[in-house]
Structure 1
Amino acid sequence: MIAAPLPDGRLHLQHGPIDLIIEAFGARDEVERAYQQAIDRFGDILPTLVHELPILRREVGDADPLLQGPVARRMAEAVRPHRAVFITPMAAVAGAVADEMMQAMLAGRTLDKAYVNNGGDIAIHLAPGHSLRAGIFAQALDGAVTLMHDRPVRGIATSGRGGRSFSLGIADSATVLATTAAAADAAATLIANAVNIDHPSIERRPARDLDPDSDLRDLPVTVAVGALPQPLIEEALDRGLAEARRLRLCGLIDSAALSLQSYWRIEAPRWERGSPEPLKGMANRRMSGSGEPRSQQA
């Protein structure tokens, strides 16, 4: 296990596949204590998860799975609203770890703001009067979002075929903002899966062929996507946008940004005049809107 400060003062924690970058802001002694609490909590995260992996890799059903660890329970809670489709608690593992580590950092501490970044799935803390700006990446820094204390977003997650997990869709990225990192993680998985189309340039293979332990088993996951004609790109993105809008109207996400081969879709609520823009910096990209033109302004 690695637990070490980075040259810029951030904390790096790594154990097996879990790789966290943590940063907290506030009084120096409060930040130091928060970092130590994160280190103390981190050692038990992976062993507990491994113990419950057989259950976590099963498709979610109507009955609650018998899970013991707090991270595993966070995972199950995040995916339960989506049980009408195929999903396992593993769809929320990275976000759930980030949420659990944030809770450990905040116990008894007073911090201005903080984040736990687990490979792009991020848990956030904001005290009143504070904000945090996060970049949105597909192929490069494509945009940014500024989060405020009074906006109910405490988690950001990104999914897509280029990520650490397999995807059933062809999205380059699907970035989601939600109330928790685990909720954002699960929703990003489903939205990225929905960005999909059939075309000879898309290569798929059964997940089991790539990883015998994959929770996706024999489902065909995307391994390569060649150049696509614009109408098909638009159609695939529209499918993802429809899923993002459904999840937002159900109250499961705050907003989402989807990308495929330099085209974008944005799903975000309308904001009153003078409110912070939910997603910024994408106006110079090739973009199709979602009926929310304010979200496209740079």
Structure 2
Amino acid sequence: MKGGAQITWLPDGKRMHLHHGPIDLIVEIWGAGQTVAYQRAALRFQTVLQELVDELPKLRQAADLQACFHGGIARAMQGAVEWHLPGFVTPMAAVAGAVADEIARVIAEAPNIDKAYVNNGGDVALVLGPNEAMVADLGGGIARATLHGSGCVRGVATSGWRGRSLSFGIADAVTVLASSAALADVAATLIANEVDVPGHPGIVRAVADSQQLDSDLGNRLVTVDVPRLSPPDMFAALQRGKAFALRLSSSAGIWGGVLALQGQVVAFGDPSLGKAIAAA
């Protein structure tokens, strides 16, 4: 492809920056084998964008159980959205998380790695040894969760109408903790879509294609502005989103998270995980 992957070190000399087109990753690795792991991550990153471009038209279409993809990342995207069918979702809802997962996978396969993270614009894949832990920001930084290697969470993702992705809903931020970043990515998107006050006259929406060129959402309406809401409206919107979140089973790899709207926050999921969540 024109341009090519750019691989540099951030000024602190500890974090690697991987950039290619719309993909922008920050990677940090701990452990005696970190040099080899960084090399593997950089090598794998070289072809990621082209692999996605090769199957992009199909990835932008509504998910279908019969769809067949060739690339490993595309197949992971498809697998992440299949849990949510027959509702409308495209594999692109998992793209940021699936890319982070793939780079985390090659890091985890390197010897002597204690822990690592791959941050793809806020969607994060984790590598955690059994005795390791990492702190994750939730709800756009309003809360934190300490995640342990002995636990099940290996992905953290955030979505909302204020973020880089388009949303049908009005959540400022929905953060999901899941077994993978791809699963977290899709769930955060869909839960954020459900945080809403349908028919509210002050919420401004526009056709997705008018906000983002070639959006996979096409002519569907997405949120572009939300007025200050009354307490009852905020409560109703958050409870609507939470009810949807609670329907997502841990069998689909969704363990919990937080929903934030205009300063109000609600948590959902595994009670034991909830104990690890604290105000920032």
TM-score bracket, shorter-length normalisation: over 0.9
Output the CA distance in 1 between the equivalents of 2:279 and 2:6: 35
| Structure 2 residue 7 is the aligned partner of structure 1 residue 3 | yes
CA distance in 1, matches of 2:249, 2:234: 22
Structure 1 residues 194 and 276: CA distance shift in structure 2, 3 A: closer
Aligned to 1:159: 159
Per-residue deviation, 1:163: 1.3
Displacement of 1:251 in angstroms is 4.3
Q: Alignment length, in residue pairs?
A: 274
Match in the other structure for 1:48: 51
Cross-structure match for 1:295: none
Q: Which moves more between the two structures, 129-138 or 189-198?
A: 129-138
CA contact (8 A) 2:139 2:260 kept: no
The DSSP-based 3-state class of the residue aligned with 2:110 is coil
**1:38 matched residue in structure 2:** 41
**When the two structures are superposed, what TM-score results if normalisation uses the length of structure 2?**
0.94
Change (3 A) 1:151 1:213: same
Offset from partner CA, 1:101-124 (integer Å, 9 cap, x none):
111222232211100000010000
Q: CA deviation at 1:137?
A: 4.3
Aligned to 1:281: 279
Residues 146 and 277 in structure 1, CA contact (< 8 A), matched pair in contact too:
no
Amino acid at match of 1:22: V
CA offsets 1:44-89 (integer angstroms, 9 cap, x no match): 00011011110000101231x1211111111000000101210000
The 2-side partners of 1:96 and 1:106 are apart by 15
Which runs of structure 2 are paired with 1:86-105 in the superposition (5 Å)? 86-105=88-107
Identity of aligned residues (%): 46
RMSD, matched Cα: 1.5
Residue type of the partner of 1:227? R
> Which is bigger in relative contact order (C-alpha 8 A, separation at least 6)?
2
Q: For 1:159-178, list aligned pairs within 5 A.
A: 159-178=159-178
2:64 maps to 61
SS in 1 for 2:219: coil
Deviation at 1:209, TM superposition (A): 2.1
Which of 20, 23, 26 is 1:18 aligned to? 23
1:40 counterpart letter in structure 2: L
My pick for the range that moved more, 241-250 or 185-194, is 241-250
Aligned-partner Cα distance in 1 for 2:237–2:110: 46
Structure 1 consecutive aligned stretches of length 4 or more whose deviation exceeds 6 Å: none
Q: Deviations over 1:16-41 (max 9, x none)?
A: 111000001111xx101111111111
In 2, Cα distance between the equivalents of 1:225 and 1:276? Answer: 29
- Find the residue that maps to 2:279 and give its secondary structure: coil
Letter of the 1:160 counterpart: G
Q: CA deviation at 1:143?
A: 1.2
TM-score of the aligned structures, taking structure 1 as reference length: 0.88
- 1:256 deviates by 1.3
Match for 1:122: what amino acid?
V
Asked if the contact 1:5/1:11 (under 8 Å) is kept, the reply is yes
Alpha-carbon separation, structure 2, partners of 1:107 and 1:126 = 12
Q: Which amino acid aligns with 2:21?
A: G
Q: Give the unaligned 5+ runs of structure 2.
A: none
In 2, the alpha carbon distance for the partners of 1:267 and 1:174 equals: 11
Q: 2:108 aligns with which of 103, 106, 109?
A: 106
- Matched residue, 1:208: 209
| Mapped partners of 1:250, 1:233: distance in 2 | 30
